[in-house]
Structure 1
Amino acid sequence: MPTPPRVLTIAGSDSGGGAGIQADLKTMLALGVHGMSVIAAVTAQNSLGVQGYWELPPVAVRAQLDSVLSDIGTQAVKTGMLASTVLVETVAEVLADVTVPIIVDPVGVSKHGDSLLAPDALDAVRSVLLPLATVVTPNLWEVEQLTGIKVDEENRLRDAAEAVRALGPEWVLIKGGHLPGEPVDLLFDGTSEYRFAAARHDNRHTHGTGCTLASAIASHLALGSDVVEAVGRAKEYVTGAIEHGFPLGEGIGPVDHAWLQRR
C-alpha cells in the first residue's frame, strides 16, 4: 500500500479527547493523512474546563521532534498549545530548519476561558514562532493578545489581519466566528484577501474547533492543495464537525471529527 501524506502536530494532550493532540489526530485520520504527534504539555480537562496542565521538559519535546523528523519526515506541521517561552523557543529552533508548510494555531486560552499559555510566552510567539508560519490561525481573543487590536465587528477583520501579518507569517486566517451574524473568516497574505462564510449552527458542543481547523488546513496542504483551497476545504470540514457536535459530560461537548464517515 502507498504511504499516505504525513502531518506532524506539536501540541498539548486533552484528556477529554475533544481538542489538542487528540483532535488533531482524529482530523488527520478523517482527511486521509498519517498523523504524528509531539506532546508539549499534558492537560487535565473535561467538558467543564481545564483543571490543570503540566509542561513536558524541553529535552523531551526536542527528542520527540528529532525522532519523527530524522526518520519519518513530514509534509506539513501544525503547532498548538506550547504553554511556555522555553517550549515555544525549543519548537521554533527545530522548525527553523523544516521546509514544509507550518500551520500555527497560537493557543492562548481554552474554550472555557482557561489560560493555556504563560503571559511571558507571548513575546516568543511573536518573535520566533510566527515568522516561521505558512498560515497562522488566531481567533479574536488571540488577535487581541498578540496585537492589542480588539475586533468587535466584521469590518475590523482586515485591520487585525494586517497587524498579525506584520509579525511575520506568510498568511493570516482571522477566525471571526465569535462576531454577531453568520461566521466569516478572513484569509490575508499581505495583498489579497479571501473571505470564507459558513452557516451558524445552533449547537453549543464546539470544543476543539480551533485545533480541528488548523489540523485540517495542514492535512489539505500535505495532500497537495494550495493555501486558499486548503483553508476552504478545512472550513467545510470544521463546519460539518460543528453541526454534528455531540454532548459529552456536563459541559461543552466536542465537534464530531468522524462526521464524514457517518454520512
Structure 2
Amino acid sequence: MIVMSIAGVDPSGGAGVYADLKTFQAIGVYGCGIVTALTAQNPYKFFSTLPVSEEYIAEQIDAVMDSYEIEFIKTGMLYSPEIIKLVSKKIREYDLKAIVDPVMVATSGGDLTKEDIAKAMNRYLLPQAILTTPNVSEAEKLTNLRITTENEAIEASKKIKCDNIITGGHLDGINTLNIGGEITIKKQDLIETDNLHGTGCNLSSAIVAYLAKNNDLKTSILKSLDYVYEGIKNGNYGTLIAKL
C-alpha cells in the first residue's frame, strides 16, 4: 500500500511532508513525499516560505508515479493558485483520490500562502477531491461564512464543494462531518496542551492511510480523529507506532 503527500516542508518535523510520512509509517503504509515549498518555522514561530517551482513539483509527481501505483494522496500547503492548478491537473491525469488539507496559516501564526488561495481551491482543487479537512478558520475562508456554533458549522459544511470534515479544535471539540450530504457530529473533549503543531497534517494523512488499508471514508475519518486525539494526549505521535 503506497500513498503520497504533496505538501510543504517543516524543518522542525511537526507538520508538512515530514509529519505526513511519520503518520503513514505509524499506520502501516508506505509514503512518498512531494515538496511544494520550504519553510523556516518551529512549533512556536514562523519565519519564512520559499516555494518550489510548478515545473519541479510536476517533475516530482511524475517521477513517483512512474514507479509506483498510487490511488490515495493528500495535499497540504500548496502556496499559490498556480500550484493548486498544477496539482489539480495531476490529480485528473493520474486519476488520484485526494484528501485536501486546505492549509493557509501555520499553527505558529505565519501566513503560508499567497492571496486568493481559497478561491483557487474552490475553483480547481475541491471539485477534484474526495474530502477536505478544514479547521474553522479555513472553512470560513472557503465559504465566506462565520462559524461560531455547531449549526453554523453544519451550514458551512453544506457550502463546501466536496465531502468534508470541519474540525472542532476551535469549536469546543465539535467535529462536523458531511459525507454524501449526511451530517455526523463527533464531539471530543479538548485537551489543554501546547502539542497542537501539525495536527491538521496528521489528521489528513491518517485518513489517507486508513483509506489505503481498505476502510471506507467515514470509518477512516473516525479512526483518524482518534489517532490524532491520542497523539495530542500522549504528546508524541511517534509513540503510536507500537499501538497501531
Pairwise TM-score range, normalised by the shorter structure: over 0.9
The TM-score, its normalising length taken from structure 2, stands at: 0.95
Residue 70 of structure 1 deviates from its aligned partner by: 2.0
Query: What is the correspondence of 1:16-165 to structure 2 with a 5 Å cutoff?
Result: 16-164=12-160
Tell me the amino acid that sits aligned with residue 203 of structure 2.
L
Q: Classify the secondary structure of the residue corresponding to 2:93.
A: coil
2:218 to 228, 231, 235: 228
Tell me the amino acid that sits aligned with residue 29 of structure 1.
Q
List per-residue Cα deviations over 1:201-242 (Å, max 9, x = no partner): 221211010000000001000110000100011011000001
1:261 matched to 2:241? The reply is yes
Choose 112-121 or 217-226, whichever is displaced more: 112-121
> C-alpha distance in 1, partners of 2:180/2:146?
20
Instruction: Give the match for residue 173 of structure 1.
Output: 165
Instruction: Determine what percentage of the aligned residue pairs are the same residue.
Output: 33
Partners of 2:104 and 2:117 within 8 A in 1: no
Q: Classify the secondary structure of the residue corresponding to 2:165.
A: strand
Tell me the amino acid that sits aligned with residue 192 of structure 1.
E
Partners of 2:72 and 2:96 within 8 A in 1: yes
List per-residue Cα deviations over 1:182-212 (Å, max 9, x = no partner): x121111342112222232221211010000
> C-alpha distance in 2, partners of 1:23/1:237?
14
Q: Classify the secondary structure of the residue corresponding to 1:134.
A: strand
What is the RMSD computed on CA atoms of the aligned residues?
A: 1.3
Partners of 2:157 and 2:165 within 8 A in 1: yes
What is the total number of aligned residue pairs between the two structures? 243
2:205 to 209, 215, 218: 215
> C-alpha distance in 2, partners of 1:55/1:260?
32
* Pair 1:100–1:59, CA change in 2 (3 A): closer
List per-residue Cα deviations over 1:97-152 (Å, max 9, x = no partner): 23342100000101122111211233211101000110100111101111111111
> C-alpha distance in 2, partners of 1:190/1:78?
19
Partners of 1:20 and 1:81 within 8 A in 2: yes
> C-alpha distance in 1, partners of 2:13/2:30?
18
> C-alpha distance in 2, partners of 1:188/1:83?
26
Instruction: Give the match for residue 250 of structure 1.
Output: none
Partners of 1:140 and 1:174 within 8 A in 2: yes
Instruction: Give the match for residue 249 of structure 1.
Output: none
> C-alpha distance in 2, partners of 1:233/1:121?
29
The TM-score, its normalising length taken from structure 1, stands at: 0.89
Unaligned runs of 5+ in 1: 246-255
Partners of 1:221 and 1:227 within 8 A in 2: yes
Partners of 2:16 and 2:198 within 8 A in 1: yes
> C-alpha distance in 2, partners of 1:100/1:120?
24
Partners of 2:27 and 2:209 within 8 A in 1: yes
